[in-house]
Amino acid sequence: MAEHRNGNSEQSSLKSSGGGGGVSYQIDLENFAKRLKALYGNWKENKGELWGNCDAFAVATPPASEDLRYLKSSALQIWLLGYEFPETIMVFARKQLHFLCSAKKASLIEVVRKSAKEAVGAEVVIHVKGKGEDGSVQMDAVLRAVREGKGSLLGYLAKEAPEGALLELWSGKIKDCGMEVADVTNGLSDLFAVKDVEEQKNVRKAAFLTASVMKNFVVPKLEQVIDEEQKVSHSALMDETEKAVLQPARVKAKLRPENVDICYPPIFQSGGQFDLRPSATSNDENLYYESASVIICAVGSRYNSYCSNIARTFLIDANSLQSKAYEVLLKAQEAAIAALKPGEKVSSVYQAVLSVVERDAPELVPNLTKSAGTGIGLEFRESGLTLNAKNDRVMKQGMIFNVSLGFQNLQSPQNSSSKGQNFSLLLADTVVLGPNGPDICTNISSKAVKDVAYSFNEDEEEEERPKVKQETSRIDALMSKTTLRSDHLEHNKEEARRLHQAELARQKNEETARRLAGGGSGNGDSRSVSRPSSELIAYKNVNDLPFPKADLMIQIDQKNEAILLPIYGSMVPFHVSTVKTVSNQSDTNRNSYIRMIFNIPGTAFSPHDANSLKHQGSIYLKEVSFRSKDSRHINEIVAQIKTLRRQVASRESERAERATLVTQEKLVLANSKIRPLRLGDLWIRPQFGGRGRKQLGTLEAHFNGFRYSTSKPDERVDIMYANIKHAFFQPAENEMICIIHFHLRNHIMVGTKKTKDVQFYREVMDMVQNVGGGRRSAYDPDEIEEEQRERDRKNKINMEFHTFAHRVNDIWDQSQFKGLELEFDQPLRELGFHGVPYKATAFIVPTSSCLVELTETPFLVITLAEIEIVNLERVGFGQKNFDMAIIFKDFKRDVFRIDSIPTTSLESIKEWLNTTDIKYYESRLNLNWRPILKTIVDDPQKFIDDGGWEFLNMDATDTDTDGSEESDKGYEPSDVEAESESEDEESESASLVESDDEGEEESEEESEEEKGKTWEELEREASNADRERGDDSDSEDERRRRKMKTFGKSRPGPSSGSITKRAKMR
């Protein structure tokens, strides 16, 4: 591997102009001139402080080596010339620049003479060392030229020991030259500290490769090893990871392999033996992944000789100490990255780390690493930019840091295994200090707790002898990202879910109590407040009135939105908004009448507006009628008034809607150099208003938002990234459309519609009509070819949408959008279920953060984090369907209901709610939630004292409920039957499931006919009736009949106004 690394390193430093070997290499003269000027400028500006007051300085590079090493001499050559020249001596003087090298290297360096002269006025002098020469003569010539240039103090790199005969001879010459010497290491460190645009690009590419290796190779490899319980050594993992770095295509990184190398051999550590230094190595011990174990992985890669680094810690069935320490470490590293600000001292970064650890876990301070990382670039560790408490250097834009932080030698006494008692934690990321703050270049590899914590279920022996503590540990295992070993026993699974729900109930009651106690019962009423309308003025003065016609007739002024009525010989204007209704009719004498009723204050549905409040003493005209012989004119006037009223009302409504909108930031369009991401041929929902044929549009991703536009100039929608709450990508599988959907934080206007949901979609199949009307064979070649074309089209569109969403995710991963926490979410179809969220049945699908239905309008998007509890209603034996009531944390928000969910989906929904940490309850009747929530908000203390949400728990004891004695009686159909009709009607009237009179009569007649039949007979008859109809749907009438059959023979529950728990049905 060493030979391969050296080969890669050589290729990355010696770039061929032709892209391959065997051709001449070229130095980038523009880059050379720019950087040589920067070097001389830094030397002149900081001569006394950083460069030791030297008049000239020498940099000598050792012979080529297969070892991985970082030398400032090599870094200077790569930075200045683009190549590393082994066994070459460079001496920089004010008026001269000397090179001592072989003839082949001299031929490459020859081209910089003119650039050096133009950039800094220095003459390039090349001293060629022959093959049989030791270079002594050339060295004497160089030193003599320096002395003649009035140089009395020579700078050199004191920390680099001379290697090889040439450098050892040069070192001796410096000591015997008679000039004083000084160390210029600090000067070069300062020179390399701030990276230009090209250097930052190289580091970003290296960081992308590093993070891709961690995400796409290391993590899947570890999961496979642990899941299959393989025995793999740390050194074997190191070798495989090194191969992945050197072959970027394996980890989905489109980089040329010849430009890539490793910074150090990948590090894998576990089993109690940890070393957090970059010089650590992977030993030959097997990977240890038993309970409460820790695995540390670190990977570093180079691109064009520029370094990057990443380190992640993975927790296996972590105990409380490990979990707490990792959370503190994560917060500390985030604080360190946030403290990277231009103008601040480097020491402030470590102080930010220390303050977090001292605040959250002071006992861990002694185990904290002594630095928070170093600068990184051509050198893996830039000594002048160490992030410790003593470094007072000032940070500047363009600096790049390896933010590396850890806790070392932590002890976990409760761990029974000796390998698990000692553990360490490490996190590292490559961060560029950009114009908009710190930019984490390795953030595609997640370090969140949910993504690095893995859990095992208990072993089989413990499953045979379950205990409460063991069950609790299994519940905790459900909360992690991945469960590598699963328990397939249904009994244990149900028990674990029950215990988890019990714990969620306790947590939820405590959370609700804290929120209610703090006055946080709601986030405010979401209902909009009507605003008073502005003063209505048809004409500002009398001179603006149109000239009256010869005979006084009713006139409509479309421009000023006014109606002019002839009253006592004068034309009196009325604004059209003052007209409440207008109508016309005719009598038997061919007379036509027009009647107008005006809006006046004080009447029903006519609230006081700005005009009535301003003119409180005025007399208002309530109604006016006119008679005319010209019926055609009357009809035209009525039609014009109604049309004008609609136009004005629509305009004012839109204006009122826009007045309630939150002001959005302005969209910053991508310039010509950076083309925006585009997705074309899209339809939008809601659609734009207006007449004419609808147009397809294009969605573009710009700097801070999206823009959708069609060929029509007025059809354009801007969606800011900051206004997006959730983003969804739904591929076309069982639907005819592929969808990109945005759920927004604040409303925007799409045409004339105010909306919080904007959707862009493309149809994946063309509508085809069979003209012949006949049935085509399934083996028809044309039919098969057509189906294949449809599949190809669907796959192509899905891939286009997926690529667009993936590239937008990359934009959202940038540092300026980190606070938005945006990422395209994809519905999990395997967890979907059918239900009625509005008026029609829809397929509702969970995502990682929401419950959505995006295919049919109106759309459904419910954020899981806003849900307080879920109540599953009408759950009982014999029911084909049940309902779901979603109660939000904002108690002033209406409860959302999803009705008629098939009972076959009950278990999967309960499992989904449990795994997403949502507390659910079950009830046999629908509850009227408005009075319940009002009771909770009015008296929160009583709600808390009564046990919180536990009144919904059907499994609790019923000793305090009324009629408990009756619940102990046996099944007595003759006694209960007579009461069932009236009481069942009451329970249905209190239910949210409404019924009509005909349905009630029908159900009563059927209940009378079914008297005396046994339960088995009723079930058998119902099943036979269903089969005869061939309909398994659960209509309202069927549901009422079944409820009458089932609950009519049991003890009725309490009234809907009570929130006490129902007695169990026997």
Specify which residues 689 forms β-bridges with. Answer: none
Radius of gyration of the chain (CA): 40
Q: Which residues contact 793 (CB under 8 A, 6 or more apart)?
A: 764, 765
Residue type, 462: E
pLDDT greater than 80 at residue 1045? no
Task: Kindly indicate the confidence band of residue 672, based on its pLDDT and cuts at 50, 70 and 90.
Answer: low
pLDDT greater than 50 at residue 339? yes
pLDDT of 3: 37
Give the HSE-up count for residue 621: Cα atoms under 13 Å, Cβ half-sphere: 16
- Is the Cα dihedral 519, 521, 526, 531 positive or negative? negative
Q: Extract the tokens encoding 504.
A: 């969620």
CB 316 within 8 A of CB 456: yes
Q: What angle do CA 276, 277, 283 make, to 5 degrees?
A: 75
pLDDT over 90 percentage in the chain: 43
pLDDT digits (tens, 9 = 90+) for 179-190: 889 999 999 999
pLDDT of 24: 52
Q: What angle do CA 940, 944, 947 make, to 5 degrees?
A: 145
pLDDT greater than 50 at residue 964? no
Task: Kindly indicate the confidence band of residue 743, based on its pLDDT and cuts at 50, 70 and 90.
Answer: very high
Instruction: Let me know how many helices (H) and strands (E) the chain has, helices first.
Output: 29, 38
Separation between Cα atoms, residue 548 and residue 621, nearest integer Å: 22
3-state helix, strand, coil in the chain (%, to 5): 40, 25, 40
pLDDT over 70 percentage in the chain: 78
From the number of C-beta atoms within 10 Å of its C-beta (0-12, 13-18, 19+), residue 286 rates as middle
pLDDT digits (tens, 9 = 90+) for 57-72: 999 999 988 777 889 9
Task: Kindly indicate the confidence band of residue 202, based on its pLDDT and cuts at 50, 70 and 90.
Answer: very high
Q: Can you state the angle between helices 219-227 and 234-246, rounded to 10 degrees?
A: 140
The mean pLDDT of 348-374, rounded to a whole number, is 94
pLDDT digits (tens, 9 = 90+) for 921-962: 999 889 999 999 999 988 888 888 888 888 888 765 444 444
Q: Which residues contact 904 (CB under 8 A, 6 or more apart)?
A: none
pLDDT of 512: 83
The whole model's pTM is what?
0.51
